[in-house]
Amino acid sequence: MKIGKYSLGIGDRFGHQGEAQLRAVIRAAELGVGIDPVWNKSNREHTYIHSQPQDTRTEADAAVKSLSFKGRYFVDADHINISNVQGFILASDFFTLDVAGKIGTESNPEDIQAFIGSCTKYSGTLNIPGITNALEVPEKLIFETGQKFLAAISEAGRIYKYIADQKGSGNFVTEVSMDEVESPQTPVELFFILKMIADQGIPAQTIAPKFTGRFNKGVNYAGDVKQFSREFEEDVLVIDYAIQEFGLPDNLKLSVHSGSDKFSIYPEISRIIKKYDKGIHVKTAGTTWLEEVIGLALAGGEALDLVKQFYIEALSRQQELCAPYADVIDIKQDELPSSEEVLKWDSEKFANTLRHIPGHVDYNPNFRQLIHVGYKIAAESGAKYLGLLIQHKEIIGSCVEENLFDRHLKRLFDL
Ligand SMILES: [Zn+2]
């Protein structure tokens, strides 16, 4: 099972926007850019929402059927590990093996020595086609890379085999992710990580490193765009070389876990993949939940009242809501509007504060990040929230579609 050159992770926390999301993908196809939609949902999201992996499959299948979509599509067990993968085996055909938590775990010295021994060819000066300056690879760097990543990638191997034993090796797409950590992996580290992935026999089709800069939830990229661009380009070239050197799948591509909206780096990603004619996978996950909140705000009345209450509650439960996302969230306390203030807002003011239009006078990234991690509160409100999603399906659907198409796909694929 092979994923196409371009693919988009369209997580949908509450499982109601499958059709709206797919409409954006279909619009891109009509303009000549084929994109495989991938409905991704992590175990963490399922736990908060009390949904099951099968619900994501049902949503995806229903959307595809209803819009008569003829392309490939996938259901991603996002950020899974060995302790929770079992629940995803039947429903998913894309697995994101999250081994970030194992980075830095000690490996036994023989394994590290064996790894170093298998890398002698690459020590010294490493020339990667396309990268102007040769990479300096002292043996110490190979040793340190082994120490840092070998345990993590052997864990990925263990998860991969666990899935393959049940599904059969050719029947799913594998991603290896290490993005939810503080320090980025350099292109040369990525090269050796890919060697480890190949050594483990993992036919990875997508890889999600931690890129330089901060990928905070729901807001723009915070970091040096030039440096991102340079490293992203080197990563693309490293992958190309690793495919040939290590026999990894020829469609292996980078996966950018955007934490929803990384508009300032989208044009760079777009330029570089075009330059080298490469594929890309971008996960936009939580952006859809935010569009639901925007849609409800625009609907007004009790829908607006409910999303105001979500914010007020999120404000008082900040610590609890932010804790699981500590590495990917950055809220400035003194820039959060007070409950009293928000209660006075009309639909437009609420929507404009939340909607991700950098430069808009009302846009507030702190407000947006807090709502982003506040989906647990909507889940707790249960039937009330879901009822309003159905009641205001049209206005919400148009927000979801517009967001994916206008703000993401247009920028990523130059539409
Ligand atoms: Zn991620």
End-to-end CA distance of the chain: 28
Residues 229/187, Cβ–Cβ less than 8 Å? no
53 CA → ligand 1 middle, Å: 17
Read off the pLDDT of residues 56-102 as tens digits, 9 standing for 90 and up.
999 999 999 999 999 999 999 999 999 999 999 999 999 999 999 99
Question: Residue 38: which of 279, 269, 210, 284 has the closest Cα?
Answer: 284
Rounded Cα distance between 38 and 8, Å, is 6
Q: Would you say 225 and 232 are in contact if contact means Cβ atoms under 8 Å apart?
A: no
Q: What is the pLDDT of residue 123?
A: 95
Specify the 3-state DSSP secondary structure of 79: strand
Please report where in the chains the tokens 């085999």 appear, as a residue: 161
Distance 330 CA to ligand 1 centre (A): 16
CA separation for the pair 292, 379 (Å, rounded): 13
Tens-binned pLDDT, residue by residue, of the chain (415 aa): 999 999 999 989 999 999 999 999 999 999 999 999 999 999 989 998 999 999 999 999 999 999 999 999 999 999 999 999 999 999 999 999 999 999 999 999 999 999 999 999 999 999 999 999 999 999 999 999 999 999 999 999 999 999 999 999 999 999 999 998 888 999 999 999 999 999 999 999 999 999 999 888 888 999 999 999 999 999 999 999 999 999 999 999 999 998 778 999 999 999 999 999 999 999 997 789 999 999 999 999 999 999 999 999 999 999 999 998 887 889 999 999 999 999 999 999 999 999 999 899 999 999 999 999 999 999 999 899 999 999 999 999 999 999 999 999 999 999 9
How many whole angstroms from 210 Cα to the centroid of ligand 1?
9
How far does the centroid of ligand 1 lie from the alpha carbon of residue 285, in Å?
9
- Ordered DSSP codes for 42-71: EHHHHHHHT--HHHHHHHHHHHHHHTT--S
DSSP string, 266-322: HHHHHHHHHHHT--EEEE-TTHHHHHHHHHHHHH-HHHHHHHHHHHHHHHHTHHHHH
C-alpha of residue 78 to centroid of ligand 1, in Å:
8
Q: How far is CA 395 from the centre of its chain?
A: 26
CA distance linking residue 238 with residue 251, whole number of Å: 13
Separation of 340 CA from ligand 1 center, angstroms? 35
Distance (Å) from CA 180 to ligand 1 centroid: 6
Dist CA 397 CA 51 (whole Å): 21
User: Domains in the chain, please, with CATH?
Assistant: 6-103+148-287+407-413 (3.20.20.70), 299-394 (no CATH)
Distance 415 CA to ligand 1 centre (A): 26
Q: State the Cα angle at 356 between 350 and 358, rounded to 5°.
A: 110
pLDDT in tens, 17-45: 999 999 999 999 999 999 999 999 999 89
